[in-house]
Amino acid sequence: MSEEITPFRIEIAQDRLDDLQERLARTLWPAPLPGDDWDTGVPTVWLRELAEYWRTQYSWRDAEAKINEYPQFTTQIDGQRIHFVHVRSANENAFPLLLTHGWPGSFIEFLGIIPMLTDTFHLVIPSLPGFGFSGPTSDSGWDTARIARAWAELMRRLGYEKYGVQGGDIGAAVSPEVARVAPDQVVGVHLNGPMAIPDFPVAEWDELTELEQDRLNRIQAFHREEFGYIAIQSTRPQTLAYGLLDSPVGQLSWIMDKFREWTHPRHVTPDKILDRDWLLTNVMIYWLTGTAGSAAYVGYAQAGWGAEKVNSGVPTAAIVFAHDAGVRRYLEAEHTIVRWVDVDRGGHFAALEEPEILVGDIREFFESLT
């Protein structure tokens, strides 16, 4: 098996961009449902305006150039191409840190915090198997354990004997798994928005704080009102993929629905919280690589995401922003939690919404360990 690491640059052919323009111009728009609000999905008026901006003002070439300012590479691990950003600190004694994104995000979630971290850390930022330039997947079975083994192998190839891991969303499931498969290498695990779902009804409800009760209420509301995307992606990812790969507005709406639900505050549209060019670049990562189906497949269609895990014993920190719903007592069996921070603002996309708070917490945690 080759362990070669190959430099990589994003170079999208112009005909792909021309095709996108044509598809956007030919979009068949549904009639708005009564009220045309977020309760029934992404509002037509709002999405049409965003799609028109995408067609007439957004520049992929500008985004491509900005991404390519960071050193990117690919390598084959366990039969799968893995794409990653690798930024070494000017400080040779810096500590290696592996950052893992989730769905519907991508590796570009972390690009904005690279300058904030590289005085202290060497950074490795891979794209999950099946996502973006690590996709599509070539075979099945990419559960958290297999991804973790790939990440441990990647860090070995890069020459890092000791390192930390950090992640949110799917990254919050993968990062602790890296500590389980490589406990002698992983010094610490840092998570934003970790979540364990207790059995409902909760027997110890009266013992919970108001904040914990609110979080459990929101978990139940999520299962009532938002679980549809998981049900589809975990059971029929290929059926969904036909629409998302053929219609850029279909791909845009599928992702924007989650950015609206998971950014904070919820009543504010996501383009008022995050830069709309960034939102569109993230959508473009899925669109240009044709990985909507394989990302759904890896993210939700694999066994083991909710299975009980063995505690690795590796020190673990969690920071929970206002949108997220982690409750410490339900996570302690699987994690050796040594630091827990609750934040009264910010949402699921911490590196984008509250970068200073996230970076500060990462720094403090790993400084306490190294």
Q: Which residues are catalytic?
A: 169, 297, 348
Alpha-carbon radius of gyration of the chain? 20
What the block records as the tokens of 97 is 């840190």
What the block records as the tokens of 29 is 């728009």
| Prior bond of 104 cis (ω within 30°) | yes
How far CA 42 is from CA of 217, 287, 320, 361, in Å, comes to 24, 19, 26, 34
Contact 112, 352 (CB under 8 A): yes
Measure the CA–CA gap between 328 and 312, rounded to whole angstroms: 17
- Nearest to residue 349, comparing CAs of 248, 275, 291? 275
DSSP code of 94?
A: P
Contact 90, 118 (CB under 8 A): yes
- Nearest to residue 85, comparing CAs of 123, 132, 134? 123
Burial of 194 (0-12, 13-18, 19+ CB in 10 A): buried
Tell me how crowded residue 357 is: count the other CB atoms within 10 A of its CB: 17
Determine phi and psi for 7, rounding to 5 degrees: -60, 145
Contact 89, 118 (CB under 8 A): yes
